[in-house]
Amino acid sequence: MIGRVFNGRYRITERIGIGGMAEVYKAQDQTLGRIVAVKVMLPQYAADPEFAARFKQEAASAANLQSPYIVNVYDWGHDDGTYFIVMEYVRGTDLKSAILQRGAINQRKVAEIGSQVCQALSVAHNQDIIHRDVKPQNIMVQPDGNVKVMDFGIARAKNSVKSQTSSVLGTAHYISPEQAQGKELTGASDMYSLGCVLYEAATGQLPFDGPDAVSVAMKQVQEEPLPPSQVKPDISPDLEAIILKAMDKNPYNRFQTARDMKQALDDFLMGRPVNIAGAAGGFASAPTSVMGSVPGMASEAGGTAVMQPIGSDTGMKTNSYRGGNDIDMGKAKSKKRGPLIAVAAIAAIALIAALAFAITGGLGGGDKVPNVIGQTQEAAVQTIEKAGYTVGTVTEDYDAETVAGRVCKQDPEADSDLEKGGKINIVISKGVKKGSIPDLSGMTSEQAEKALKDAGLKAQYAGNEASDADKDTVSRQDPAAGKEVDEGTTVKYWISTGPEDTSVPNVVGSDQASAKAQLESAGFTVQVETGDYSDKYGEGIVMSQNPNGGKLEKGGTVTITVSQGQDPEKNKVTVPSVTGMSQSEAINTLLSCNLAYALDTASAGSGTPGTVAKQSVTAGKKVDSGTVVTIYVVPESSNSTGDNSNNSGNTPNTGSTTN
């Protein structure tokens, strides 16, 4: 896979992880010049239509989630039978690795991580997307300490056509009881999983463990977790209460929204009183349970199954997270007293509810403002008017926690007293405020920090690197310039140390084309010069280079000198003048000059017998060694015997003096 280019754009450079159905690779976006992460479906699943549909759904769902605490999805596609998703490349380490390396994490840091994860989940839940696989492996801790939630790999929108599948997905150590039994899920399931994550981060120990996934899942359904303070005694009672509320077996007793859980964690961090009971749901808000036919389960009126606490015969549970005289972490000390306490509690609650009805709504008392937070403007108007109120002003504002187009604020607040016919003002979210990332190229570190601050973004120096950029200026940034991002997004930048010195390869003896390609691939500029004739190097072969070896900065010039081959004049000889010489003298002269000869006595014409009357090649001309020069010799008398006796005609001779 290394070196492969997906869709002609994303070049794979290294593998950085593998999951249950996909591998994750680091890659270079050759169009935008940035580093990205590419998730590639494993081959055994690529041909499975169901897995392929889930993989594509992940990309579609995650691409719509915009938050500083969610890993961005840039692109997805299909290339040569393989599905892939292109995501933001996050530098840092996953929370699971941090826990394994360090053990229990500082509890304030645990609360900060939990608050940021809640904000990410709130964005998803507002779009009816449940993560379904919240675990420390999917929470990346960046160098600046902030986190990003990734891998909505098994997330599904509530209105998805596949939302009714009975497949149980997720990791056993972190799945909610209802997820373990394949029940329909709400955002409260993610709250339970996050509670397990915070439990492990705060104590360094999993809340439930076992020899296999099935045994762990059974414990999620049937067993209560050991209180964190019994694992790590110095843990804050408030943080313990938040974690245990999130991990309540009954989804109605947990935090009902990520916003509620975030509020509790923020109160803990700010040193404010943590109001667990008022955060969401609570005992009084849970529908009455009746015994179901499934052991360990109680059937709700709305069709959602709720787990029965262990040791309870009623399906109801007292919400207490700190020890008391009679109840320890929500468990009755006496099994016999449990049902009696539960029955008494139900009776008390019923009486309180009846009194409340009689005092307020039943007797025409003060009216309560409906909660329209998170609704579309149209739905909010209908809700307000249906409750007997009118809509006042409708304004817009940026809100990082509420998806654009939905109500993020209302005045008066929900559950406030307001006479019928009163006005309720609403604010519609414009989503997270976005800005364009400035181009930091050529800026100094100080200039880059100021430019990002002025743009409402956070700057993070990521280190030095050798590059073609001028020394001490920005060589690279991530995300790239011009991208629209949320206000407050962290932009990393690198400072150039100048071009990197690279070894110059030796290309002497290579042909010109190969030598040029080799040097250019090493990052050098090539200058070609024509050299002299050479017996050693053929025509077009590099006979020398400058510099030859050593180090040179990338982009530097290497000069190569190319041979012209052998000197064409080197083997040339000058034809001597043999006219007027005797035949033997002419022959010896030609042979001494490395020339061949031929005799012609028939065409010599008149002259002194036995002498050369003329020659075929003009004297003084340069010819190749071994060239035949015909000499025309005036014949002797008929009774004469001479050298022409065997060479009448034009037979060439290359050196035999007998001729």
CA dihedral 169, 175, 180, 183 (to 10 degrees): -80
Cβ contact 120:129 at 8 Å: no
Q: List all residues 6 or more positions away from 146 whose beta carbon is below 8 Å from its beta carbon.
A: 68, 69, 116, 490
Rounded to 5 degrees, what are φ and ψ at 109? -65, -35
Partners of residue 397 on adjacent β-strands: 429
Report the C-alpha gap between 189 and 58 in whole angstroms.
Answer: 18
Question: Which of these, 462, 414, 401, lies nearest to 116 by C-alpha position?
Answer: 401
Cβ contact 541:510 at 8 Å: yes
Report the C-alpha gap between 528 and 510 in whole angstroms.
Answer: 13
Q: List all residues 6 or more positions away from 605 whose beta carbon is below 8 Å from its beta carbon.
A: 613, 614, 632, 634
Joined together, the tokens standing for residue 659 give 């001729």
Task: Tell whether residue 622 is among the known ligand binding residues.
Answer: no
Rounded to 5 degrees, what are φ and ψ at 262? -60, -40
Report the C-alpha gap between 130 and 23 in whole angstroms.
Answer: 23
Taking CA 261 as the corner, what is the angle to CA 256 and CA 262, rounded to the nearest 5 degrees? 135
Taking CA 116 as the corner, what is the angle to CA 115 and CA 118, rounded to the nearest 5 degrees? 65
Report the C-alpha gap between 447 and 79 in whole angstroms.
Answer: 41
Cα-only R_g, the chain? 45
Q: Which of 29, 94, 133, 267 is catalytic?
A: 133
Question: Which of these, 259, 261, 286, 257, lies nearest to 274 by C-alpha position?
Answer: 261
Taking CA 226 as the corner, what is the angle to CA 323 and CA 197, rounded to the nearest 5 degrees? 115
User: In sequence order, what E strands does 356-446 have?
Assistant: 390-397, 407-411, 423-429, 434-436
Report the C-alpha gap between 495 and 473 in whole angstroms.
Answer: 5
H/E element holding 178? Answer: helix 177-180
The verdict on whether 415 is a catalytic residue reads: no
CB atoms within 10 A of CB 381: 18
Report the C-alpha gap between 231 and 242 in whole angstroms.
Answer: 16
Joined together, the tokens standing for residue 177 give 């009881």
CA dist list (Å): 512 to 507, 519, 530, 532, 561: 9, 11, 11, 15, 9
Q: List, as residue ranges, the binding site for ATP.
A: 39
Q: List, as residue ranges, the binding site.
A: 39
- Residues designated as active site: 133
